[in-house]
Chain A
Amino acid sequence: MAELDDIIHQPLRLRIMAALNALPAAVGLEFSRLKKLTGATDGNLGAHIETLAKAGYVAVDKAFVGKKPQTTVTATAAGRGAFARHVATLQEIIAASAGQH
């Protein structure tokens, strides 16, 4: 059985990756929208996005819209692959347990 990804496994990071993976490739989410969707606080979300960015799973783009700074987070191809493998492993764990019963 494949291993779970210990970076994605953390609950908030899992939610971040799940949200980004629900969008078409190359489409990102603004920080404020991601915060609302995951129910995280500013600091917590920022720290976990940084961990995912360091692993190469997300790309962070900071730009100005008018005078307002806007941070957009997008899942990278590596991040999408890692997330798909993580989900497959979770499904395998459930399937294996169902097979034992």
Chain B
Amino acid sequence: MISIDPKEAASALSDINEIAHRVRQSTIYNFASLMLIMWGVLVLSGNIASYLWPREGGYIWMALNVVGLAGSFAIGIFESRRTSVHSFDLRMITAFLLFFAFGILWSIGLGHFTPRQLGVFWPTYFMMVYTVVGLWVGLAFVAIGLGITALTLIGYFFVGGWFDLWMAVVNGGGLVVGGLWMRRS
């Protein structure tokens, strides 16, 4: 029969809690990384397309957002079937809708943003949510959120006519690299 003292028992329980926390975090990272990579590819394509066809920018981004939302649902369903964890439930769908409704209200309804300002608004808004969520679920989210926000602002203030291409690299590329990094951590 094994006999241990209360200190050893407390240490074993603390080990168990730590591993359980790591498993939960790893499940979230796995799901989030797929989302980041998909959105990264879309954002990269969107910025390059906006650079090439600036007049069609509005339609391009509308189409990409629809593809992104459909892709997010697909990833959510795929992941919940694979892991039996319902990561994309009604609450998540509501959060997505609120996120886009609030963004559209301010960027199109109440605000009168220039295309360049719109190009900064959506990534920084998205990354603000990402950073805040990261305070609860993991520092990788915070690092990616703040890093991309800083690079986006540098682009807005200091990059001239190449702004869309800059955003393709730092925002689209940043999301893809962030997603890949998340999968490894």
Give the B-binding residues of A (Cβ under 8 A): 3-4, 6, 9, 11, 14-15, 18-19, 21-24, 26-27, 29, 33, 36-38, 87, 90-91, 93-94, 96-98
- Report whether over half of chain A's contact residues are helix, strand or loop; otherwise say mixed: helix
- State the CA gap A11–B85 with chains docked (Å): 27
Interface size on B, residues (CB 8 A): 21
Q: List the count of A-B residue pairs having beta carbons below 8 Å apart.
A: 69
A-B contacts, 5 of them at CB < 8 A, read: A9-B4, A9-B12, A14-B12, A19-B20, A97-B5
Contact partner, A37, options B12, B13, B19, Cβ 8 Å:
B19
User: Footprint of A on B, CB under 8 Å?
Assistant: 1-2, 4-6, 9-10, 12-13, 15-16, 19-20, 22-24, 26-27, 83-85
Is B16's CB under 8 angstroms from A27's CB? no
CB distance from A51 to the nearest CB of B (A): 15
Q: What are the residues of chain A within 8 A of B16 when measuring CB–CB? A: 14-15, 18, 87
- Cα–Cα distance between A44 and B27 once the two chains are bound (Å): 24
The closest CB in chain A to the CB of B86 belongs to A24
Given contacts A14-B16, A91-B13, A97-B6, whether A37 and B22 have CB atoms under 8 Å apart is: yes
Contact B2 A33 (CB under 8 A): no
| B28 vs chain A, min Cβ distance (A) | 12
Tell me whether A93 and B2 are in contact (CB under 8 A): no
Query: Which residues of B lie under 8 Å from residue A36 when comparing CB positions?
Result: 26
Contacting A19 at CB < 8 Å: which of B1, B5, B23? Answer: B23
Residues of chain A lying within 8 A (CB to CB) of residue B1? 3-4
